[in-house]
Amino acid sequence: MTIIKHIIKKEFKQIFRNKGMLPIIFILPILQLVILSNAATYDIQNITFGYVDANNTSTSRGLIEKFEASNYFNVAHRFASENEASNAMQKGLVDVYLTLPTRFEQDLQKHQQAQLGVFIDAIDGAAAGVINVYVSQIIQQYNKHITPQLSQPRDALEKIHRIESIPLFWYNETLNYKTFMVPGILVLLVTMITLFLSGMNIVREKEIGTLEQINVTPIRKSHFIIGKLFPFWVLGMGLLTIGIVLAKVIFNVPMLGNLGLLYAYTAIYVLLILGIGLFISNFTETQQQAMFIAWFFMVIFILMSGLFTPIESMPKWAQTLTAFNPIKYYVEIIRMVMLKGSGFTDVLPQALKTLAYAIIMNGLAVWSYKKTT
């Protein structure tokens, strides 16, 4: 036990003495949280909007006014022709444009229905889907507004049976995207720093030659690894704390669940990440290689974690693969606990998997660390 203590003490001293690394450990996460949370958003706003109004009546202008009044759409460009509008889209000047046909108002009065062209730049498919939803919502509202205005007494005879759907958004009524992203970015913050630091740790001692010196001491492998892990584990928990405070203070993200539960899970999770880092460290010769490999896995893990894109939309085989993705479990759990207030039994399945994974990875790390070649 005292031997482990000596290693821990030494690691802490080295972490806090490395002037180049300290800012990376403590300032980077804050920057990351602030910038990423603002940059990583699928919250579609400021949609540049244009229209071709061949009708130019109070009905067509009324519709355009609705769009102009909406928070989602930016001031409208009016185009003289469809050709002009389409050119503007090619240049990337508009995200969406409407074409109101010449007989727009007349059709509406005569045939009780009018067609309206909606053209959306769909290269970003996800954004296009959201824009389409916003456009339909505004048109529906406008419909509700004009139907009674245009109705004639004879229309009332024909009664329409309606299914009224009432959408209710739980846990995030205002559909605030930051509430969704900030906990996920907290995961990145805890994971990236602990993975990179632990990944470079043993290989650094290899490079400077001190590892050989350690290897000729009678220290036990497990003691050495535990001594190396502990300081980074503390660091991970510290990062979580900083992150939670920032999430609350800057972004006002709710914390509905039990904070203790989140810490308990993070304790297991960080252990797992450190195990992976040390495993990488054991298999590489230089810090550069370790960085590359850590970065490579990091990118894949992040992309397949459900952090930015829903796991449900992945094909079956990819969903199966995500079972090996530690980040996926943490993203799920942190969102469940913080935003929904999920309890112990709700997170138990993921927690058990993480624990098993952590035991395996740390076992592998101890096993693959060879004092003798």
Partner 1 sequence: MKTDYVIQAENLTKLFGDFAAVNRISFHVKAGEIFGFLGANGAGKTTAMKMLIGISTPSSGRATVAGFDVYKETEAIKKNIGYMSQKFALYDDLTVKENISFYGGIYGLSKKAVKEKSHKLIEELNLQAVSNSLVGGLPLGWKQKLAFSVALLHDPKIVFLDEPTGGVDPITRRQFWEMIYKAAHKGTTIFVTTHYMDEAEYCDRVSIMVNGKIEALDTPKRLKAHYKTDTMNEVFLKLARG
Partner 2 sequence: MKKFIGFVKKEFFHIYRDKRSLFILFGMPIAQILLFGFAITNEINHVDIAILDQSNDVTTKEIINNIAASKHFNIVDVLQDETAIETVFKKGKIKAVLQFENMFAKNITKEAQANVQILTDATDPNMANTISNYITSILKKQQQDINNGAFTPYQIIPQSRMVYNAELKSVYMFVPGVMTVILMLVSAMMTSISITREKEQGTMEILLVSPLKPYQVIAGKVFPYIFLSVINAMAIVLLSIFVFKVPVNGSLFFLALESVLFIITSLVLGILISTIAATQQTAMMISLMGLMLPTILLSGFIFPISSMPLPLQAISNIIPAKWFIVIVKGIMLKGIGLGFLLKETLILLAMTLIYLGISVKKYKIRLE
**List of residues contacting partner 1 (CB under 8 A):** 2-3, 5-7, 9-10, 13-14, 17-18, 208-210, 212-220, 371-373
Q: Which two tokens stand for residue 334?
A: 């942190």
Which one, of 148, 140, 150, lies nearest residue 116 by Cα? 140
Q: Scan residues 236-255 and list those touching partner 2 (CB under 8 A).
A: none
Tell me whether residue 9 or residue 155 sits nearer to partner 2 (CB atom). 155
Check binding of 373 to partner 2 (CB under 8 A): no
Tell me whether residue 245 or residue 299 sits nearer to partner 2 (CB atom). 299
Number of residues that bind partner 2 (CB under 8 A): 107
- Residue 319 backbone dihedrals phi, psi, to 5 degrees: -65, -40
Which one, of 340, 347, 338, lies nearest residue 244 by Cα? 338
DSSP state of 45: -
Long-range contact set of residues 3-8: C-beta below 8 Å, sequence gap at least 24: 3/219, 3/220, 3/223, 3/227, 4/223, 4/226, 4/227, 4/230, 5/227, 6/227, 7/223, 7/224, 7/226, 7/227, 7/228, 8/227, 8/230, 8/231
Paired with 363 in beta bridges are none
- Residue 242 backbone dihedrals phi, psi, to 5 degrees: -55, -45
Q: How far apart are the first and last CA of the chain?
A: 26
Binding mask 107-126 for partner 2 (x = CB under 8 A): -x---xxxxxxxxxxxxxxx
Contact 178, 41 (CB under 8 A): yes
Residue 346 binds which entry of partner 2, partner 1, none, with Cβ cut-offs from 5 to 8 Å by kind? partner 2
Q: How far is it, in rounded angstroms, from Cα 121 to Cα 147?
A: 30
Q: Scan residues 56-85 and list those touching partner 2 (CB under 8 A).
A: 63
Residue 299 binds which entry of partner 1, partner 2, none, with Cβ cut-offs from 5 to 8 Å by kind? partner 2
How far apart are CB 315 and partner 2 at their closest, in Å? 6
Q: How, if at all, do strands 96-100 and 77-78 pair?
A: unpaired
How far apart are CB 161 and partner 2 at their closest, in Å? 5
* Binder of partner 2 out of 147, 217, 241, 252 (CB under 8 A): 147
Q: Scan residues 333-352 and list those touching partner 2 (CB under 8 A).
A: 335-336, 339-343, 346
Check binding of 185 to partner 2 (CB under 8 A): no
Check binding of 303 to partner 2 (CB under 8 A): yes
Residue 3 binds which entry of partner 2, partner 1, none, with Cβ cut-offs from 5 to 8 Å by kind? partner 1
Rounded to the nearest 5 degrees, what angle is found at the Cα of 339, between the Cα atoms of 334 and 342? 70
Check binding of 359 to partner 2 (CB under 8 A): no
Residue 242 binds which entry of partner 2, partner 1, none, with Cβ cut-offs from 5 to 8 Å by kind? none
Q: Which stretch binds partner 2 (CB under 8 A): 215-223, 234-242, 243-251, 306-314?
A: 306-314
- Give just the sign of the alpha carbon dihedral 42, 48, 52, 56: positive
Q: Which amino acid is at 347?
A: V
Residue 246 binds which entry of partner 2, partner 1, none, with Cβ cut-offs from 5 to 8 Å by kind? none
Q: Which two tokens stand for residue 83?
A: 């050709």
Tell me whether residue 110 or residue 220 sits nearer to partner 1 (CB atom). 220
Tell me whether residue 151 or residue 213 sits nearer to partner 1 (CB atom). 213
Check binding of 353 to partner 2 (CB under 8 A): no
Tell me whether residue 149 or residue 372 sits nearer to partner 1 (CB atom). 372
Check binding of 17 to partner 2 (CB under 8 A): no
In the sheet where 96-100 sits, what is the strand order? 77-78, 49-53, 96-100
Paired with 53 in beta bridges are 100
